[in-house]
Amino acid sequence: MPSIRTLSETDRLHLLRLARTENVGPISFAHLMERYGNAQEALDRLPTIARRSGAIIPSMDDIKREVDAHAKQGLRLLSIYDADYPTSLRHLKDAPPFISVLGRLDLLSKTLFSIVGARHASSAGERIAIQIAEILSAKGWVLVSGLARGIDACVHASSLDNGTIAVIAGGIGHIYPPEHKKLYADIAEKGLIISEDPLFTSPHAGLFPKRNRIISGLSWGSLIVEASLRSGSLLTAKYAADQGRAVLAIPGHPLDFRARGTNKLLKQGACLVETADDVLNEYSETHQYLAKDMAREEACEEYSAMPPLLPETSSLIRDIGALLSTVPTPVWDLSEKLGLSPVMIRIALIEMELNGEIERYPGDCVISCV
């Protein structure tokens, strides 16, 4: 887990340049920082690592413009090394290197619990989401959701007065859906808005899945209210399980397509929730600490023990590429099949990610993009 450190202005700018470099995802960012110790050294090495595609590194002027824009809009840009960065996220292996925040940072120190669900929710689904949100909020919990239509909007509106956190896709200021402009403004005033995307990024479909890992990562548990079998809410549940968080779900009628995802989660062992009391009973200090310990164990892999990049990784990259598909493949599976340590596999995966050949997936998995 990255430790808190004091950063100079120059260090912070170089960190942001590294984080904004094309195809440098959170895991590759962590590997590069652990190996080279500072962002400037990592940036100097990138052209060698991404020798096939060439690393597109933003200029210092581009980064200064983003930083200045944050200041002009009253936003804060937190790095993973800052003391105010959420501790629950810092434990994650794929923690966002930077997050933009607007609103009350004090909410991050409270008990955080996420509730998500269908955009086209039923009246009954919205009603139970509101009931549970109001009760938990009244007990001092801070509810986290994704500002989407349906269940998310109900959760935010029902917990607004006591503080709610909206994790959004796209840069802060890009409100989606547009009809939530008033809700967005209310959350900015009374709650907290978080985004890991560059400030000038417009929302698009590819950003929403990775946003979900932040929703679950902030929280001790995630409640899924309604979800079809292809719902993005199920990805939130997947992230929560991989992060060592609790997964909870509300059962539904078998003939309602919006219940198929939640019923599937219950079959897989999710906590069945009918009232707020079920959530309160699931929560305990023991469970909370267990979840954090599990996340910490995942995040504390010894990246610093990795050897320097191999002078030639083409053969290993070809071997890995032959094993990958659009189905997520665990790193440990690649390690076993190729008879190499996970460290050696990760060395090659950094180069493959920088060259746009793979994408990271929940559970320390990768998929092929070629």
Name the residue ranges covered by the structural domains of the chain. 9-90, 105-297, 307-368
Q: In this structure, which topology does domain 105-297 adopt according to CATH?
A: Rossmann fold (3.40.50)
CATH code given to domain 307-368: 1.10.10.10
- Residues present in the chain in total: 370
Q: How many CB atoms lie within 10 A of CB 81?
A: 18
Please give the chain's pLDDT, 370 residues, in tens: 788 888 999 999 999 999 999 888 898 899 889 888 899 999 988 887 766 556 788 999 999 999 999 999 999 999 999 999 999 999 898 999 999 999 999 999 999 999 999 999 999 999 999 999 999 999 999 999 999 999 999 999 999 999 999 999 999 989 999 999 999 999 999 999 999 999 989 999 889 989 999 999 999 999 999 999 988 899 999 999 989 899 999 999 998 999 999 999 999 999 999 999 999 999 975 455 554 554 444 444 444 444 444 445 678 888 999 999 988 898 989 999 999 888 788 878 888 888 788 988 877 889 998 7
Beta bridge partners of 101: 76, 194
DSSP 3: P
pTM value is 0.85
Is 153:183 a contact under the CB 8 Å cutoff?
Answer: yes
Question: Which bin fits 269, alpha (ψ -120 to 50), beta or left (φ > 0)?
Answer: left
Is 221:281 a contact under the CB 8 Å cutoff?
Answer: no
Is 149:128 a contact under the CB 8 Å cutoff?
Answer: no
